[in-house]
Structure 1
Amino acid sequence: MKNTIKITWLLLLLLAVGFNVEAQLLKKIKKRAEEAAKETILRKVEEKSAEETEKAMDSILEAPGKKGRKKNGKTGQPTDENGEIYEEEWEDNENTSDGSDPEALYIYSKFDFVPGDKLIFFDDLSREFVGDFPSRWNTNGSGEVVATDEGQKKWLEIKPGYGITYIPDLPDLPEDYTVEFDMLALGLDRQTASTAVLKVGVSDTKSFKWGKFANVDIPFCQYAPVGFFVRNGGEINNSIQGDIREKVLGQPHISIAVNKQRFRLWVDEKKVVDIPRMIPEGSKPVAVKFELHQFKDGKERLFISNLKVAEGGQDLRRQLMEEGSISTNAILFESGSATLLPVSMGVIRQISQVLNSDETLTLNIIGHTDADGDDALNMELSAKRAEAVVNALVQVYQIDPYRLQAEGKGETEPVADNSTTDGKAQNRRVEFKKVK
């Protein structure tokens, strides 16, 4: 009997120990499962981020296997080595009949940025070799030119680092001028640092030091809207609220206007900074500078292109009313097409205001191109671009179409040297003339 009781207690003890061991084991398994689930989620996020980055990089970095794939210089249609058009690919990317996106133009209809009308500097990097640092820039760090797989657009990749500065070779700046560029960021996700920013601004020295300056930090953080940090080395040293997290995942266009001491900055159509006395009193900016901070090397990458600096001229509205005509290269189109870029709406908005102020006024709108490509195609392209401006005035600002005429002059009336990048940019222009 005693032996039976001992055996029973021993069995119960073993069973209790077994339950305890099993419970501990289950806890460990549960904990490990939770950790594994977390790891799986993180891995999926990283894989998705890597996949999106890879897709973006496929479209921006030059692909040796696609070097034969080009586009027709004036229609924008993709072609093979023999110039034959890939019809199916082109049909997938058709624009509206007037060459513009009405929804995008409407979004920009209240955009009040007006580029300067006298070109100082323009660099689309088209003459640079892929892999080289661009010849019209300077830096104390490193960087290189990359291209789309079809070679249609080139970008300068700038590298992160405090004190690593990128400076385009500009002449001295006037009191009133504008700065514009396209920007592309890759590899951004919710782990991107809150301090990941592009510092852009103006300085009174052309050295890598900032001297007397005014600059803005454009943020790339995705997990929170960290806003724009503004500073001028004096009283201004603070943050301005703003959320551009979605915009920086695309290819935003940055616009800056400096009018004496006033400094304004737009991201696409949204004005995010407008400070009346940001340029330090008594300073004379002579340089535009860029610095990239807190990007993870190899994962997060930043590219800029199409840098344009122009002197701010007279109010285009007043000039058109007083002189009867204006010519501007601040109305921009996609390369080789009549697709009107939304950032041009600041100028078109001013033209609509003149037309609304005088209902008897009629205008002739004349398009001009540079000398690249076929003469006949340039003539056709310039006419289509003038028609795109007419359509924007009619569709967006409700101007009577009978008050507008469109005409193309192609490359027949250049105002600058077509053998230089700056000269070509000046020749690609739109004129507005009162009809007698």
Structure 2
Amino acid sequence: MKIPKSAYSILLFWIAFVFTFPNIDAQTKKLKRPGSKVGIYSVDKFVSESFDIYDKVYKYDGYAEAGTPLDDEDIDVLEDALDDLEGLSDSAPDILSDVDGTSVLKQAKATLQINKAKKALNYSIKTAKELLLGQRERDTEEEPEDESNDTSTNDNPETNSTSTNNDIGDNDDTNISDNLEIYSKFDFVPGDKLLFFDDFEKDFIGDFPSKWNANGGGEVVQINNEKWFDLLSGYGNYYIPDVKSLPEEYTIEFDVLVSGLDKKTSSTARLFIYLSSTNDFSHGPTYTVASIPFCQYTPVEIRVQNYVNRGGGGINNGVKADIRKAVLNKPHIAIAVNKQRFRIWVNEKKYIDVPRMMSLEHRVNFIKFNVNNFKDGKERIFIKNLKVSEGGEDLRRKLISEGKISTNGILFDTGSANLKPQSYGIIRQISQVLMQDENINLKIIGHTDADGTEASNLQLSQARAEAVKNALIEVYKISGSRLQTDGKGESEPVEDNSTSDGKAQNRRVEFVKI
């Protein structure tokens, strides 16, 4: 029986399809676009359009592999490409009828090129979807999903039962020997003179915090028995703490909590921290701004910009930073300004260090927060423990020259002697003094605020001094014979324990040469 030409061409098509498609997922290098046309308009058009889109998707796939973030324009291109891809894929079987009636060689060439185009289409559809969902790196980075990886929270964060993977309990039993290499290199040193502190403990749930100003909304909420400041997203919303004036050298620290983030969180969802020359609801004529990204589907850079006296700045840059996991787990943000130098840490890693960022002629005096491009009613951001302190550059010279320093920059989990990671910048400087001069021995003295009983505070202060000693021994390899410890509890306050500022200053550690 003679096989009809149309059946013959279809048979050729499926033979080529079977031998070509099984290797789609194994593709490791770029497919080569056919170098010549078939001479059948619909086939040539299908192949050309398929590879045009393939080239775009392949380029963005390369960005993902290199860790380069996609911007909004890239995402729009991918979304449009995905629509075009699905339409092209659906049209592939229809063009076979145009092959019927041509020569066997042309039919074979057309069939091979159609299959090659379909291979490109299959790759493009799969890859575009993964890029848009932020799943392109899952083979090397993602862990199996379970309930512990869910970034959603209860829609009402004002209840004590709200739980989220973003929360790290205050009594987390972190061993100080964990991550020794990271801690040993951490070089953030908070200022030693407190200018402002707010943990919102004196504010009522549902009220706007008393030590802040704003031109929009926002309120204090309770999450897992902690009070947090709920910041509302909006381009023109500014939140200004009551910091009266910033000195030449100072540090800013705060904790962040988020809820509702997922793979669809925008690449432009950011927290902006402005250092401004004015305390009104604008950028101000002179300002420096840093923005922290919260996008989850791809790494997005941390950005910094300065602007001097309405005349422009000179610095407008982004630094590559994959902090997607960090921002989901109550990150600690630290900023240090030392005259012109400007630095930012997220947890224990320093991402920004610009030596001449700040203007000495046109000073900034105020701090402003802005949150933008979070989805209303779904994605939320909260801050807590805002601390602004004067100083923050070098305690080593003071310890050597005066023989004594006192700092409230060494922090512990609430009611425990577990050192917080951000404490290691100061401990590192102490270790450098001891390594430089082996004749120096130190007494480490712990102090607490007045919360709790005198006996428990005395015991806690002694345990905290011991924790600092152990960190010097375990992390920085200082001999324990050179270190003594003592605890004073709440017996030697330097400020009023009835205020949050006073309590923060009373929670301190002293180092005294002996």
TM-score bracket for the superposition, by shorter chain length: 0.7 to 0.9
Which residue does the alignment assign to 2:183?
A: 108
Q: 1:174 aligns with which of 247, 255, 279?
A: 247
Distance 1:134-1:359 versus aligned 2 partners, 3 A rule: same
1:406 aligns with 2:502: no
Q: Distance in 2 between matches of 1:127 and 1:402?
A: 43
Which residue does the alignment assign to 2:288?
A: 214
Which residue does the alignment assign to 2:12?
A: none
Distance 1:57-1:238 versus aligned 2 partners, 3 A rule: same
Q: Distance in 1 between matches of 2:465 and 2:149?
A: 41
- TM-score, structure 1 as length reference: 0.79
**Displacement of 1:64 after TM fit?**
6.2
**Residue identity (%):** 58
- 8 Å contact kept, 1:105–1:342: no
Instruction: Provide the secondary structure at the position in 1 that maps to 2:425.
Output: helix
- TM-score, structure 2 as length reference: 0.67
1:158 aligns with 2:256: no
1:200 aligns with 2:273: yes
> How far does the alpha carbon of each residue in 1:37-89 deviate from its partner, in whole angstroms, 9 at most, with x for none?
xxxxx99x9x98999344x448x9343679xxxxxxxxx78xxxxxxxxxxxx
Q: Distance in 2 between matches of 1:265 and 1:216?
A: 9
Distance 1:65-1:163 versus aligned 2 partners, 3 A rule: closer
Q: Distance in 2 between matches of 1:317 and 1:227?
A: 33
Which residue does the alignment assign to 2:390?
A: 311
Which residue does the alignment assign to 1:63?
A: 159
Q: What is the letter of the counterpart of residue 220 of structure 1?
A: F
Q: Distance in 2 between matches of 1:107 and 1:238?
A: 26
**Displacement of 1:386 after TM fit?**
0.2
Distance 1:62-1:200 versus aligned 2 partners, 3 A rule: same
What is the total number of aligned residue pairs between the two structures? Answer: 367
**Displacement of 1:194 after TM fit?**
1.0
Structure 2 alignment gaps of length 5 or more: 1-89, 91-131, 136-144, 163-169, 308-312
Matched ranges for 1:324-335 at <5 A: 324-335=403-414
> How far does the alpha carbon of each residue in 1:241-284 deviate from its partner, in whole angstroms, 9 at most, with x for none?
22211211211100000111211111111111111221234221
Q: Distance in 1 between matches of 2:255 and 2:476?
A: 26
Matched ranges for 1:37-436 at <5 A: 52-54=150-152, 56-57=153-154, 61-63=157-159, 95=173, 100-104=175-179, 106-149=181-224, 151=225, 153-211=226-284, 212-233=286-307, 234-312=313-391, 315-435=394-514
Distance 1:322-1:259 versus aligned 2 partners, 3 A rule: same
**Displacement of 1:221 after TM fit?**
1.2
Q: Distance in 2 between matches of 1:230 and 1:423?
A: 33
Q: What is the letter of the counterpart of residue 61 of structure 1?
A: P
Which residue does the alignment assign to 1:34?
A: none
Q: Distance in 1 between matches of 2:291 and 2:390?
A: 24
**Displacement of 1:171 after TM fit?**
1.7
- 8 Å contact kept, 2:251–2:391: yes
**Displacement of 1:132 after TM fit?**
1.1
**Displacement of 1:350 after TM fit?**
0.3
Q: Distance in 2 between matches of 1:246 and 1:50?
A: 13
Moved more, 229-238 or 403-412: 229-238
Q: Distance in 1 between matches of 2:268 and 2:161?
A: 37
Instruction: Provide the secondary structure at the position in 1 that maps to 2:400.
Output: helix
Which residue does the alignment assign to 1:6?
A: none
Distance 1:155-1:162 versus aligned 2 partners, 3 A rule: same
Q: Distance in 1 between matches of 2:280 and 2:223?
A: 32
